[in-house]
Structure 1
Amino acid sequence: MELKESFGETVKSIRRDKGLPQGAIGTNQGYISEVEGGLKAPTLPKIVEIAKNLEIHPLTLLTAAYEKMGPESAEQLLAKVASELKGLKKMHRG
């Protein structure tokens, strides 16, 4: 599964779980339909907007999308991110 498809399915799943219509999470219902269908890849500002309207952090949304693609679990992904961030901090100090 490609990232666009996984992201769209993730958005759709979270939106439905929260009982929200497509128009509630984006300025344009048609655009959200295309995102959920894996036809459009949102820009970073759009990802932030969608996450905000779903009342979750953008990283939660992206982590859930990457988890759906597998093979790593959310916990494994977050541990990897934490480790990489720690390494980046060391690089900037040195």
Structure 2
Amino acid sequence: MDLKESFGIIVKTIRRSKGLPQIAVGINQGYISELENGQKTPTLPKMAAIAKSLGIYPLTLLAAVYSNMGPETSDQLVARVISELESLK
């Protein structure tokens, strides 16, 4: 599974779990539909806006996307991010 496909699956999953229509997540329903179907890739500002609309932090959205792609679990991803952030100090 590629990054675009995983991003779309996760956005759709979170959106549906919160009972939100596509229009509640983005600028327009058509764009979100294309995004959820892996046909579009959001810019960083749009990704942050989508995460905000879903009520989550952008890093949470990205962690869910990468966890969905495997092979790392969300716990492994979080540990890796913490370790890498510490090494940047």
TM surpasses 0.5: yes
Q: Deviations over 1:38-68 (max 9, x none)?
A: 0001000000000000000001100000000
Question: 2:2 aligns to what?
Answer: 2
Q: How many residues align?
A: 89
Counterpart code for 1:75: D
Question: 1:51 aligns to what?
Answer: 51
Tell me how far apart the structure 2 counterparts of residues 53 and 13 of structure 1 sit (CA, whole Å): 14
Q: Could you say which structure has the larger radius of gyration? A: 1
Counterpart code for 1:32: I
Q: How far off its partner does 1:27 sit?
A: 1.1
C-alpha RMSD of matched pairs (Å): 0.4
Tell whether 2:73 aligns with 1:68: no
Q: Give the TM-score normalised by the residue count of structure 2.
A: 0.98
Question: 1:92 aligns to what?
Answer: none
Question: 1:24 aligns to what?
Answer: 24
Q: How far off its partner does 1:24 sit?
A: 0.3
Q: Which runs of 5+ in 1 are unaligned?
A: 90-94
Q: How far off its partner does 1:28 sit?
A: 1.1
